[in-house]
Structure 1
Amino acid sequence: MLLQSQARLPKLLIVYASYGEGHIQAAKALRDACADYGEHQIVMCDLMAESHPWLNEMTRRFYQSSYTHLPYLYGWMYDITKPMKHNSLFGSWLHSFGRQKVRQLLQKEKPDAVVYTFPFYAHQSLKNPSKRVPSFSVITDFDLHCRWVHPSIDRYYVATPDLSSELRQLGIHPQNIKVSGIPLKKGFQAATRAAELYAKYGLQAGNPTALVMAGAQGVLPHVLEMCETMLLRAPELQIALVCGRNDLLHSAAVERFRQHPAASRLHAFGYMNDIHELMAISDCLVTKPGGVTLAEAIAAELPAFIYRPVPGQEKQNALYLQSKGAAIVSNDMDDLINQMLELVHDPMRLMNMRFHIRKLQPKDSHPSVSAAQTIVLDIVSKLRIINHASLF
């Protein structure tokens, strides 16, 4: 396609982190989009895992446990560091992690650009680098934490015009910002409601369907109680419960509903690679509000219901979508279930909510071009400009 005319496709170093599934999925989406346009050379780096494996494991466990044991501590840390500057003591310390690993990769791989899906800007913290390598940042939430902001980033890719406006208010030039959407795995553009998908997942095509996603680690609170209450209150409702990598939750769901009167209306799944297919045949989504998950819901035009979002970026993601009419947030399970059942039984309300969701989809992108493809194409275009300018 557009990139095939290049004499040499650029080599990209994609830096991500394994704190939550979204940063990994965004990095993989960019990698796959590069493959769509030719034989790009892609180097993937989970920076903390490869440079500080012990510290990475410890901080990952803290991040995951914060959802159930220390949510307000995590939220406090997020809020207090949100306005931090890149050159503050704490900001400089955070960006120093993985510095030696990045230096080695730059010397060995000689990439044309560094692309971040997590703000470990180790490249930016190098002292006297032998060569300035263009850097691009893909922000994977609907809320802006200043950890993402650094003066040496050549281009920011964001989910919404509101994020673009926030970056401009922080002094980022408008030409260095693009509203691209959040990069998603393949399938969301092509997924449509089809009879064969209902059959594939054991669902009835004529019944309203709620997709309940417990998160990659299966930590959505009270999820089995929530599913049982929904089934008892709505005899025609069917539920697709995605337990992620939490095998204990999946086993508990199977056991709890084995002899349940509504057992035929609940279908439990583990980790799903083809989540776009379940989203295509669902009428609403109950989920943790990770940035990538909510971007997937927007792509699928799926109203999102958020139960007790954890303080920090996920709560801010949820509140942002609620402010746009694309999600409903509640800390009360009964209230959330009642609102969800009212929506799936009210076609006009459902249509109105989907209208608001469509308004969140990027305006500038071609319908057949995904956010990941948009970002890859833009990076290549930006590199051509940078390389051309360097000749003069």
Structure 2
Amino acid sequence: MAKKKKIFILYARFGDGHWQAATALRQSFECLGRTEVKLIDLLAESHPVLNEVSRFVYNKSYNLLPQVYGWVYDATKGMKSDSLFANWLHSFGALTLRKLMEQERPDAIIHTFPTLVLPFIARKSGYTIPMYNVVTDFDLHRRWVHPEVDKYYVATEDISVQLSKLGVHSDRIAATGIPIRPTFLNGMNAKSIFARYGLSPERPIALIMAAPNVPCSETAEMCRSLSGKCRAQVIVVCGRNRALYDELSEIFSFEPSVLTLGFVERIDELMAVSSCIVTKPGGLTLSEAIAAQLPILLYRPVPGQELGNARYLESKGAAVICRSVEHLSRSVAELLQVPSRRIAMRNALKFLSKKNASDNIALDIERQLHIMEEASVATASPSDSVLVPT
């Protein structure tokens, strides 16, 4: 029996999207059964204090100073991989990763967050293994781009074109879509979902993913407007924000048209029975909505990658950016009341859809590693893959 390959997937917890993509890929590799996968939050393991401070600053700037976050994002968007800033940025966690590589001898590294430490390690030690980038947004930041990346897996053909213009050969790019869990939308039974959540199949459902940058009072106003003016059943998902869940639950305790939920593991069940989704434009949530062909309303996207995602989807006719509750209500009403508008948006979502992204990425990486192994057998020397101390 052939020895299993070992792969590290590096992610970060700046939001849940990078971790969700990493988890989806691990599930796909596990289904193939030929690869051992280890998920590593590199910054958390190597610099736990710095990681917590960075996450705190990220969350505060995202919620309280979004313009500052957007300015930093835009100012660094065009950075080159050989710049001093990029080299400094990609050096964090090098010692920790090198130790893990020495101990566990992985065959490849996948990034769902651009902590591209491997080239730094290679320069210091001479130890190189294949490196793959799974870009988790619809907007390309140059932090993802490095000449030593073996292959890029991206959301759209438009990002493929951008990478090609930056000198990346087309053989090293695959427009697979962003990986979502392989079981997404499997085994949906609409009748049982309606019954479980106490929903009526006779009325449209607006699914709201509560955003951290939107105050509770504004989220409540949104719910009232959609249930009243649009005559929709409203499901508001608060995630792990317990305070928001408690407050909204109290506000709508006697309002049967508004259902308040906390963290929902099977969000695909709610997407399957909803008529539209109101959300912030994170790459993973957008990819799930695209897979469900669920019309998307993007409420007050913050500057940075999320605004880039929002503008891209709106340019394709797959989403509407809304800047106020009134604008949101008008847009939802149009979607629910004008069939041609609904059909046009679903056609746009269908055009963007990439089926089985996670499985396809895992299969392609396994195939490439097999090809590399066969090639190395013919040319291997006794000194290959030996770490050189520094």
Residue 50 of structure 1: aligned partner: 45
Confirm or deny: 8 A CA contact 1:220 1:288 kept in the other structure: no
Residue 32 of structure 2: aligned partner: 37
Confirm or deny: 8 A CA contact 2:221 2:325 kept in the other structure: no
Confirm or deny: 8 A CA contact 2:230 2:332 kept in the other structure: no
Return the match for 1:383 from 369, 372, 379. 369
Within-5 A mapping of 1:346-361? 346-361=338-353
Q: CA deviation at 1:279?
A: 0.5
Confirm or deny: 8 A CA contact 2:318 2:349 kept in the other structure: yes
Residue 182 of structure 1: aligned partner: 178
User: Within 2, Cα distance between the matches of 1:266 and 1:30?
Assistant: 35
Confirm or deny: 8 A CA contact 2:164 2:170 kept in the other structure: yes
User: Within 2, Cα distance between the matches of 1:239 and 1:210?
Assistant: 5
Within-5 A mapping of 1:16-165? 16-38=11-33, 40-126=35-121, 127-165=123-161
User: Within 2, Cα distance between the matches of 1:234 and 1:144?
Assistant: 36
After superposing on structure 2, the runs of 4+ consecutive aligned residues of structure 1 that deviate more than 4 Å are none
Q: Which residue identity is paired with 1:77? A: V
Q: CA deviation at 1:193?
A: 5.8
Within-5 A mapping of 1:173-322? 173-190=169-186, 192=188, 194-215=190-211, 218-221=212-215, 222-235=218-231, 237-259=232-254, 263-322=255-314
Q: Which residue identity is paired with 2:372? A: I
User: Within 2, Cα distance between the matches of 1:270 and 1:193?
Assistant: 22
Deviates more, 1:32-41 or 1:280-289: 32-41
The alignment partner of 1:44 has SS state of strand
Confirm or deny: 8 A CA contact 1:75 1:310 kept in the other structure: yes
User: Within 2, Cα distance between the matches of 1:160 and 1:315?
Assistant: 17
User: Within 1, Cα distance between the matches of 2:358 and 2:214?
Assistant: 28
The alignment partner of 2:259 has SS state of strand
Aligned length: 375
User: Within 1, Cα distance between the matches of 2:319 and 2:138?
Assistant: 13
User: Within 1, Cα distance between the matches of 2:272 and 2:125?
Assistant: 47
Q: Which residue identity is paired with 1:194? A: A
User: Within 1, Cα distance between the matches of 2:325 and 2:185?
Assistant: 32
Q: Does 1:371 align with 2:366?
A: no
Q: CA deviation at 1:340?
A: 1.0
Deviates more, 1:85-94 or 1:381-390: 381-390
Q: CA deviation at 1:40?
A: 2.5
Q: CA deviation at 1:38?
A: 1.0
Confirm or deny: 8 A CA contact 1:210 1:285 kept in the other structure: yes
Q: Which residue identity is paired with 1:134? A: P
Question: For residues 191 and 336 of structure 1, do their structure 2 counterparts lie closer, same or farther at Cα, with a shift above 3 Å needed?
Answer: farther
Q: Does 1:342 align with 2:334?
A: yes
Residue 3 of structure 1: aligned partner: none
Q: CA deviation at 1:333?
A: 2.0
Q: CA deviation at 1:232?
A: 1.9
Q: Which residue identity is paired with 1:389? A: A
User: Within 2, Cα distance between the matches of 1:107 and 1:168?
Assistant: 34
The alignment partner of 1:86 has SS state of coil
Residue 14 of structure 1: aligned partner: 9
Q: Deviations over 1:203-252 (max 9, x none)?
A: 1111100000014xx444421211112122133x1011100110011011
User: Within 2, Cα distance between the matches of 1:346 and 1:104?
Assistant: 59
Within-5 A mapping of 1:320-335? 320-335=312-327
User: Within 1, Cα distance between the matches of 2:200 and 2:322?
Assistant: 29
Q: CA deviation at 1:191?
A: 5.3
User: Within 1, Cα distance between the matches of 2:229 and 2:29?
Assistant: 47
Confirm or deny: 8 A CA contact 2:206 2:226 kept in the other structure: no
User: Within 2, Cα distance between the matches of 1:212 and 1:38?
Assistant: 37
User: Within 2, Cα distance between the matches of 1:121 and 1:225?
Assistant: 43
The alignment partner of 2:178 has SS state of coil
Confirm or deny: 8 A CA contact 1:213 1:286 kept in the other structure: yes
- TM-score (norm: length of structure 2): 0.93
User: Within 2, Cα distance between the matches of 1:201 and 1:101?
Assistant: 46
Unaligned runs of 5+ in 2: 380-390
Q: CA deviation at 1:346?
A: 2.1
Q: CA deviation at 1:130?
A: 4.5
The alignment partner of 2:62 has SS state of coil
Q: Which residue identity is paired with 1:146? A: R
How large is the RMSD of aligned CA atoms in angstroms?
A: 1.4
Percentage identity across aligned positions? 45
